[in-house]
Amino acid sequence: MQPKLVQQHAAVAAVDLVKVYGAGDTAVRALDGVTVGFDRGRFTAIMGPSGSGKSTLMHCLAGLDTATSGQVLLGDTDLTRQPDRVLTKARRERIGFVFQSFNLLPQLTAAANITLPLDLAGLNPDPEFFDRLVTTLGLAGRLTHRPSELSGGQQQRVALARALVSRPEVVFADEPTGNLDSRSGAEVLRLLRDSVRDLGQTIVMVTHDPGAAAYADRVVMLADGRLAGEIDRPDIASVTDALQSLAAGR
């Protein structure tokens, strides 16, 4: 696909992205020329076999890792051409993160964890949006609690509020339900989907779980560091079939 076409509706895009770890005989080509756009206001899941490059792609898209060649476009900004201080600012102000391990600060209350990225950027939360977010996420009665006083599902909802509160251009979610029981996991996935539907949020999620991917609007498949197909409006059966075909080398 032409880079211009990929970029047009994309909140974030990779253009001919290559990532090589190491050098010489032991070099690993984790990304081997990936061109893909992630549309604004959509929920996309990245899937593929273990070692296919999912985490590497997400880390490069989020400016957490540098690519060997190619471009990462966040809106009109080419992240691959920016000095560290610009990358740090972009990560803080334009991108939200949700990790498998929640990554909350144990000494801070839920409310302080949620507003931390804004505090670090010297910005104030929009009080109306903050209230709407914590009410929607079922956290209104938990704001003074510390992470150790919250269940896993509640901690992940705090992490989700933290990712959404600045209305970032993209939220990256890395196996966000990996540490949750199936009920709490389903709740977090519903909330991710609702934030796309109700707030117009753009979400890119890496997952191994076809059940989680079925909440997305689109699934992008990777194999051996390359794009290996995509599914529009996925369901569990179509995702499982595609993964099985990849595993069988078809």
Residue ranges that bind ligand ATP, judged by CB under 6 A:
21-22, 28, 30, 48, 50-56
Task: Pick the closer one to ligand ATP by CB: 28 or 237.
Answer: 28
Q: How far is the CB of 14 from ligand ATP (least distance, A)?
A: 13
Which tokens hold the place of 147? 């992470």
Which residues make beta-bridge pairs with 20? Answer: 29
Task: Pick the closer one to ligand ATP by CB: 65 or 126.
Answer: 65
Which residues make beta-bridge pairs with 31? Answer: 19
User: What does each C-alpha distance from 173 to 43, 55, 127, 150, 236 come to in angstroms?
Assistant: 10, 10, 25, 20, 19
Per DSSP, the three-state class of 122 is coil
Task: Pick the closer one to ligand ATP by CB: 34 or 158.
Answer: 34
Q: How far is the CB of 222 from ligand ATP (least distance, A)?
A: 7
Name the pairing type of β-strands 218-223 and 43-47.
Answer: parallel
Q: How far is the CB of 52 from ligand ATP (least distance, A)?
A: 4
Task: Pick the closer one to ligand ATP by CB: 45 or 165.
Answer: 45
Q: Are 70 and 50 in contact (CB under 8 A)?
A: no
User: Exposed/middle/buried for 24, CB within 10 Å: 0-12, 13-18, 19+?
Assistant: exposed
Task: Pick the closer one to ligand ATP by CB: 53 or 185.
Answer: 53
Q: How far is the CB of 53 from ligand ATP (least distance, A)?
A: 4
Q: How far is the CB of 225 from ligand ATP (least distance, A)?
A: 7
Determine how many CB atoms are found less than 10 A away from the CB of residue 184: 18
Task: Pick the closer one to ligand ATP by CB: 42 or 54.
Answer: 54
Going through 133-240 in order, the beta strands assigned E by DSSP cover 170-174, 203-206, 218-223, 226-232
Q: Are 216 and 43 in contact (CB under 8 A)?
A: yes
Q: How far is the CB of 244 from ligand ATP (least distance, A)?
A: 16
